Amino acid sequence: MKNQRMPLLVVGSVAFDALETPFGKVPRTLGGAATYFSVAASFFTHVQLVGVVGDDFSKRDAGIFRGRRIDIRGLERAAGKTFFWAGRYTDDMNDRVTLVTDLNVFAAFNPQLPVTYRRTPYIFLANIHPDLQRSVLQQVERRPRLVALDTMNYWIERTPAELRETLKHTQVLMINDTETRQLATERNLLRAARRIFAMGPHTLVIKRGEHGALMVHDKWMFAVPGYPLEQVQDPTGAGDSFAGGFMGYLAGSGRVNGATLRRAMVYGSVLGSFAVERFGLDRLRTLARREIEARARRFWQLTRFSL
């Protein structure tokens, strides 16, 4: 049986970002988890985006989605301003300070799935309120093949019960080290993973920024190092681009098994590594599929050895 490319649904933020890193300042550029995710995933499969923008979101802003396999019928337009985030990165790019978070139209966001999205087998729930994440799953008319979820300390601390409920319907959890430890209330990552498996997911993907990513599965583990880059201009969107490459590859391959999950980790790392090379979406905008394949091979060279 030939594997079919499957569509991929994402719900999350579409935003304008003001960014400040040691390499420069950008007062307003398109961002948001669902944006980075969609662009990254669209290299591999058809993406269906669910999100909300304000009336300041222009045709030109929407240009990022055109000419790509991104369906924006689920991108609602509401009266008011688009979600705005401003942040500054420290010298080593490993810490960031949030300067402004204006939720704007995102505050009343209530994701609605267009009819054509309701039988989509691959779903990514980007970092939003766990009740909204779950409401997306409730609108799905066929049991999805794979649900992956991102979250953050804010929801782990403030909506633990809601998050636990949503995790019951999630197979892949994609978070960072700190969030893993916090969610599991356990310092050791392997023991933390087992606690998280008891909550629902069978796979934990721990994102570690410049140190790569670790996948912990019930029966096995897989680690990808960070790709050593000569130039890191802006880490914004790295995690969401990673998630987009990861889920995009899986949906595009139409198969979830040990081999495709490992390859998904590599493609996730490839997309994340490209995303940080320029400000905002600038690098992903011009990225070509052959560059993705070339960097995937570089990952192979970076990690291969024989015993």
**Residues found near a copy of itself in the complex (CB under 8 A):** 91-92, 187-191, 208, 211-212, 214, 216, 220-226, 228-232, 259, 262-263, 265-266, 293, 296-297, 300-307
CB of 212 to a copy of itself, least distance (A): 6
How far apart CA 152 and CA 178 sit, in angstroms, is 9
- Toward a copy of itself, which CB reaches closer, 77 or 297? 297
71 versus 179: smaller Cβ distance to a copy of itself: 179
Looking at the Cβ atoms of 154 and 300, the one nearer to a copy of itself is: 300
Q: How far is the CB of 185 from a copy of itself (least distance, A)?
A: 14
Say how far apart CA 96 and CA 117 lie, in whole Å: 35
Query: Which one, 46 or 295, has the nearer CB to a copy of itself?
Result: 295
CB of 214 to a copy of itself, least distance (A): 6
Q: How far is the CB of 11 from a copy of itself (least distance, A)?
A: 29
> Closer to a copy of itself at the Cβ: 67 or 228?
228
Q: Least Å distance between CB 218 and a copy of itself?
A: 14
Residue pair 84/100 in contact by the 8 Å Cβ criterion = yes
Residue 187 is given by DSSP the state S
Q: Which is nearer to a copy of itself, 51 or 235 (CB)?
A: 235
Least distance (Å) between residue 227 CB and a copy of itself: 9
| Cα–Cα distance measured from residue 254 to residue 133, given in angstroms and rounded to the nearest whole number | 23
If 0-12 CB within 10 Å is exposed, 13-18 middle and 19+ buried, where does residue 110 land? exposed
Interatomic CA distance for residues 64 and 270, integer angstroms: 20
Distant-in-sequence contacts of 128-132, Cβ < 8 A, 24+ apart: 128/11, 128/12, 128/13, 129/155, 129/159, 129/162, 130/155, 130/159, 130/162, 130/163, 130/165, 130/166, 131/159, 131/162, 131/166, 132/11
Q: How far apart are the first and last CA of the chain?
A: 35
Q: What tokens appear for 41 in the block? A: 């995933």
The first and second tokens of residue 32, run together, are 């948001």
Residue 32 pairs in a beta bridge with none
* Cβ–Cβ under 8 Å, residues 38 and 244: yes
Q: Least distance to a copy of itself from the beta carbon of 269, Å?
A: 11
- Beta carbon of residue 135, minimum distance to a copy of itself (angstroms, whole number): 35
- Tokens linked to 261: 């999950």
Q: Which is nearer to a copy of itself, 49 or 173 (CB)?
A: 173
Distance CA 164, CA 275 (A): 31
Q: Which is nearer to a copy of itself, 142 or 305 (CB)?
A: 305
| Sequence-ordered strand ranges (E) for 90-220 | 96-102, 122-125, 146-149, 172-176, 203-207, 213-217
